[in-house]
Structure 1
Amino acid sequence: MKFAIVVGQFYEELAERLVISAKEVFEAEGGEVDLFVVPGAFELPLAAQYAAESGRYAGVACLGAVIRGETTHYDYVCTEAARGIQDVQLKTGVPCAFGVLTVENMDQALARSGGGKRDSGAHAAHAVLALVKVREQLSG
């Protein structure tokens, strides 16, 4: 089975950590992974749509990070990334997991990326796998 990871690289170190853990989960289940990099979280929904509509992937893990700053930009990016990713999976039927860190600071981001029980990259991959399993069960 093939999976896509789309990642916003605005915070490069965080993106790398999230990708490593998501990739490990997919590969542990025997999956192949293709990686697609976009500038930031706002671009994730369209990249996920491209991957989902290609017909090549059983699911898509959407990864990235948005850290609150001094303006309302954070709110718009978080809301639209989440809504857009949800819209893609509902429109296409291809599981698209939201593995985007939406945090207050870098310490919170580091705690939620790469290892540990709050690893958003791994959680996103597990969510995709769970939805793929449900789809298989319901399709007969």
Structure 2
Amino acid sequence: MAGQSHYIMPLPEFDEAPKLLIVISPYYKDIADNLLAGARAEIEKAGGTHETIEVPGALEIPTAIGIAERMSNFDGYVALGCVIRGETTHYETVCNDSSRALQLLGLQGLCIGNGILTVENHEQAAVRADTADQNKGGGAAAAALHLIALARKWGRAEKKVGFTSDILLAGSTDGNSTA
């Protein structure tokens, strides 16, 4: 409905400045430039630092984030790009696969804000990317910052999911259970 607004959480505060990597596909350069401006402003407003890399398309964004996570020391990531519906099913593939890959990375513990726009036309993208309108680039950066704050709150210990062989049973000091 027109005229409805939504709640925007205040940015988290950090004792130590978060370091983010912005991964952007500049396929639609004007849209990408606005998304990037919004993301950078939001990160800087929270006292964070950032680096930016470009990749050819939305499908390469999750791969670049995965590489950066393995080979660098970023606290979080901002994924930026734009996919506009065309005449073929390629749109669905790019939208679904890029989103799914980012979600899987997030479930592995990466702090990612998803700012890949998926729209019907250029006009919709322009409104969503505009820093004075919907500012989806800023929103993606804010999402990453909130996830970083959660990760820091709960500690960044490398916890394994599921059962591990190094769990000692209560009362056992040598790892051998007599229970």
TM bucket normalised to smaller: over 0.9
Distance 1:3 1:83 in 2: 21
Aligned with 1:27: secondary structure?
helix
Correspondent of 2:86 among 63, 69, 92: 69
Distance 2:100 2:44 in 1: 28
Corresponding letter in the other structure for 1:50: I
Find the counterpart in structure 2 of residue 126 from structure 1: 142
TM-score normalised by the chain length of structure 1: 0.93
Distance 2:133 2:69 in 1: 28
CA RMSD of aligned residues (A): 1.4
| Structure 1 runs of 4+ with >4 Å offset | none
Find the counterpart in structure 2 of residue 36 from structure 1: 53
Find the counterpart in structure 2 of residue 84 from structure 1: 101
Give me the identity figure in percent. 37
Extract unaligned runs of 5+ from structure 1: none
Find the counterpart in structure 1 of residue 31 from structure 2: 14
Q: Is the 8 A contact 1:51 1:60 kept in 2?
A: no
Deviations 1:83-103 (A, max 9, x none): 111112222x22111100000
Corresponding letter in the other structure for 1:71: T
Find the counterpart in structure 2 of residue 27 from structure 1: 44
User: C-alpha displacement at 1:114, in angstroms?
Assistant: 2.5
Aligned with 1:118: secondary structure?
coil
User: C-alpha displacement at 1:55, in angstroms?
Assistant: 3.9
Corresponding letter in the other structure for 1:28: K
User: C-alpha displacement at 1:120, in angstroms?
Assistant: 1.1
Correspondent of 2:153 among 109, 127, 137: 137
Between Structure 1 and Structure 2, how many residues are aligned? 139
Extract unaligned runs of 5+ from structure 2: 1-17, 157-179
Corresponding letter in the other structure for 2:35: L
- Write 1 or 2 for the structure with the bigger share of helix: 1
Correspondent of 1:45 among 62, 68, 78: 62
Corresponding letter in the other structure for 1:97: G
